[in-house]
Amino acid sequence: MGMNDIKVGLAGFGPAGSFFHAPLIAATPGLRLAAVVTRDPAKAEAARATGADVVESAEELWDRSDLIVIASPNRTHVPLATAALEAGLPVVVDKPLAGTAAEADGLIRLAREQDLPLTVFQNRRWDGDFLTIQRLRGELGEIRRFESRFERWRPVPKGGWRERGGPGEIGGLLYDLGSHLVDQALQLLGPVTGVYAESDIRRDGVDADDDVFVALDHANGGRSHLWMSAVAGQLGPRFRVVGSERTYVRWGLDGQEDRLRAGERPDSPGFGEEPEERWGTLGVEGDLRRVRTEPGAYLDFYRGVVAMVREKAAPPVDPAGVVAALAVLEAARVAASERRVVSVPASVAQPGA
């Protein structure tokens, strides 16, 4: 730790705060986890084990920090980000940035008025398999169909606000996993013009969507098919990217989350590497080859945060691009409830860098 480290205040110490943000902050040169706000005694004890102070209110967090990271329940993202910006602090918000594109736009305007940086933790842009797809674009040719799955087999609900909360909690898989899958689709294929969706609650004791399919029409003629499920007894491929020249297929999730949950340091040697048996395949029938998976690089997000705060560099995730993804998620919710294809306004269709 250095005397000039950026002091980070972390709002929330659930799975996002404890497994993702705290270890990544600790491993990033120039950052120090200074304080955590949580009222849960067990979470407070775990937070103190990191060396951070524990406080009971966001207002106490503002006074101890140079940068705020918001990893609290989704419904609190907008009010906490608003308060932090009004307190004069740069902000990182875990996905989803907001429940609506309009709310996200409001945060962006406030950050601009305050002349403060704002960014969103869309960490799946740094999954090794997604980085691999970007590397392979030249070999794939024109990408005509992007199939992406984030499926699990969890027949017994875990409980908590993500599964039990109503729309006000911004829970359910569409906004949880869909925030990642839609963001990746926009990064890969660009603006969306139309959205179709199917959204269901399959398990007893669950009040938010747990089985979702979303289809996107992209302005460039490509299509994305996205699956999010907690009730898939056999998992489909994580990615199938169909190009005019070749197809890329990859099974299994990026390993960084499991390693973080197991307590591995994200700056340890080989943290983002994958063994060859987990590599995907590229080619056509009769001419397939395994292709090395790019090392996953979640730490690159927080390295970008340091540059954003210290050097006024561009944010690692432009929140304007996240507005476009939220517009797609809103359209998907309408499409599922009304059983129709919903158009996305061109004014919010352009993803950011």
Cα(215)–Cα(208) distance, integer angstroms: 20
pLDDT, position 223: 98
What's domain 124-297+327-348's architecture? 2-Layer Sandwich (3.30)
Q: pLDDT tens for residues 162-172?
A: 777 666 778 89
Residue 56, token pair as written in the block: 């009971």
Q: What is the total residue count of the chain? A: 353
Q: pLDDT tens for residues 48-98?
A: 999 999 999 999 999 999 999 999 999 999 999 999 999 999 999 999 999
Residue 85, token pair as written in the block: 């910006």
Q: pLDDT tens for residues 276-303?
A: 999 999 999 999 999 999 999 999 999 9
* 8 Å CB contact between 1 and 26: no
Q: pLDDT tens for residues 173-224?
A: 999 999 999 999 999 999 999 999 999 999 998 989 999 999 999 999 999 9
**Domain residue extents for the chain:** 6-122+301-314, 124-297+327-348
pLDDT, position 2: 66
Q: Quick check: bond before 96 cis, omega within 30? A: yes
pLDDT, position 163: 75
Q: pLDDT tens for residues 342-351?
A: 999 776 545 4
The angle that helices 178-189 and 319-338 make with each other, rounded to 10 degrees, is 110
Cβ neighbors of 290 (< 8 A, separation 6 or more) are: 276, 279, 280, 281, 282
pLDDT, position 335: 97
pLDDT, position 167: 67
pLDDT, position 353: 33
- Kindly indicate the confidence band of residue 243, based on its pLDDT and cuts at 50, 70 and 90: very high
Q: pLDDT tens for residues 140-181?
A: 999 999 999 999 999 998 877 677 766 677 889 999 999 999
Q: pLDDT tens for residues 84-140?
A: 999 999 999 999 999 999 999 999 999 999 999 999 999 999 999 999 999 999 999
Q: Where are the beta strands (DSSP E) in 83-158?
A: 91-94, 118-121, 143-151
Q: Is the pTM of this model over 0.85?
A: yes
**Is the pLDDT at 34 greater than 80, yes or no?**
yes
Classify domain 6-122+301-314 at the CATH topology level.
Rossmann fold (3.40.50)
Q: In what order do the strands lie in the sheet with 280-284?
A: 287-291, 280-284, 247-250, 239-243, 143-151, 223-229, 211-218, 192-200, 342-343
Cβ neighbors of 54 (< 8 A, separation 6 or more) are: 35, 36, 37, 38, 44, 47, 48
pLDDT, position 346: 73
pLDDT, position 166: 64
Enter the DSSP assignment of 199: E
User: Rounded to a whole number, what is the distance in angstroms from the first to the last CA of the chain?
Assistant: 31
Q: Which amino acid is at 191?
A: P
